[in-house]
Structure 1
Amino acid sequence: MFEVTTVHILIRLTLATVIAGIIGSDREYKNRPAGMRTHILVCLGACVIAMIQQEIAAQNVQFALSHLAIATVIRSDQARLIAQVVSGIGFLGAGTIIVTRHKIQGLTTAASLWATAGIGLAVGMGYYQIAVISSVFVIFVIVFLKKIIHINTLKKIEIKYKHKVATKEFIQDYFETHEIQVRDVNFSVTQDESNTIYTNVYRIEIPREMKYSQIVEDISMNKNIMTIRMVSV
């Protein structure tokens, strides 16, 4: 156990800032709830707490060595403050998760904040090898993994329209033309004094190169389409 010097403090805070800045810049670029500054602050805060914990332990050891003649028992739990960071960061991460009626956003950002706090703790405790290697893995997962591995997930599209026969034929032709696989469909009808509104909820799988926003935009161009939106599976 050694004392945390000024040089150690500068190195650790700088490393924490750089690592968290790289992770946070990806979140900010993708317009997520927590950006670069938030990730840096989380990592710096965790780093500071880890250094405080290490300094407390070092001071306790020095006190014990300088008072050997006194029968004194000193307890220093290295994980006590760290445990508070791990549990506390969960509340901050929960604040980035946005739950709406149709989807959930912010899970990856919350996870990246939690991972960044762990990296900050590693840096603050002086475990540079753990911090650097783990940060490489975190950055790889956040920035590059989705570009390398693509998983076609099932999505639901809710379409409300009028003029049943013509519009339904248009939707089916669009799906076939763009090689969109329909795995399931639910159908309902509502009526008022002037119109009959048909609602189809399609569970679809799209080709890798196609985006869901493109589907919504293309189908909405039909004059019979009243509402089209993505809903959670």
Structure 2
Amino acid sequence: MFDGWEAQAPVVARIAFAMLLGGVVGLEREMKDRPAGFRTHTLVAGAAAMLTGMGDMMLAQAHHDAHGRVQIDPFRLVEAVIAGVAFIGAGTMIAHRGRVVAGITTAASLLMVAVIGVAVGFGHGWLALMATLLTLAVLSVLAWMERRVSRGSSNDEDAPR
């Protein structure tokens, strides 16, 4: 049941790290009352890290054919992550206030935390950390720009005509 737990422990650590990074991005989305927040982003990042971590383990256990080729492609797991996130992201866009346009940034942040999780799952923690910081920077700039635009449009409405 727990065969090879020593090999699985690093994957669990990667899942936890990916969930931490995804949770930070999700917290930002949660604080802005977006359709997918802390829990969703945390779980997406963790699932992506787990799938890619399992891919790494499968590759290590892979059997080679007579020509020395491996018969598994762990990158197909990345495709599964992207497909799953696309489904979730579409749901956040459609379900949010009945407008398809709303929720696109949240869908993009879900895709980003999935890719961050993939990076962690493949052992690229530094890359994932830097991508998380860049994502937070983009979301902060976006929030700042939204505030500026909304202030500008409210000032236009109050201006005498």
- Equivalent in the alignment of 1:71: 66
* Aligned counterpart for 2:128 among listed residues 104, 112, 131: 131
Largest Rg, 1 or 2: 1
Aligned residue-pair number: 153
- Equivalent in the alignment of 2:22: 20
- Cα RMSD (Å): 3.2
Cα shift at 1:92 = 0.8
* Aligned counterpart for 1:88 among listed residues 84, 87, 91: 84
**TM-score normalised by structure 2 residue count:** 0.79
Cα shift at 1:59 = 0.2
Are residues 1:106 and 2:103 paired? yes
* Aligned counterpart for 2:119 among listed residues 117, 122, 143: 122
Cα shift at 1:9 = 2.2
* Aligned counterpart for 1:210 among listed residues 128, 147, 151: 151
* Aligned counterpart for 1:32 among listed residues 25, 31, 34: 34
1:57-99 per-residue CA deviation (whole Å, 9 max, x = no partner) reads 1101xx44xxxxx836532213111112112211110000037
SS state at 1:22 partner:
helix
Are residues 1:142 and 2:139 paired? yes
Find the aligned partners of 1:34 and 1:137 in 2 and give their Cα distance.
19
Gaps of 5+ in 2: none
Structure 2 CA distance for partners of 1:93 and 1:4, relative to 1, 3 Å: farther
Find the aligned partners of 1:111 and 1:127 in 2 and give their Cα distance.
21
Q: Relative to total residues, which structure has the larger strand share, 1 or 2?
A: 1
SS state at 2:61 partner:
helix
More RCO (CA 8 Å, sep 6+): 2
**Conserved in 1, the CA contact under 8 Å of 2:18 and 2:116?**
yes
Structure 2 CA distance for partners of 1:113 and 1:102, relative to 1, 3 Å: closer
Q: After the TM superposition, which parts of structure 1 deviate over 3 Å for at least 4 consecutive aligned residues?
A: 70-74, 98-103, 211-216
Counterpart code for 1:20 = G
Cα shift at 1:114 = 0.5
Structure 2 CA distance for partners of 1:40 and 1:151, relative to 1, 3 Å: closer
Q: Relative to total residues, which structure has the larger helix share, 1 or 2?
A: 2
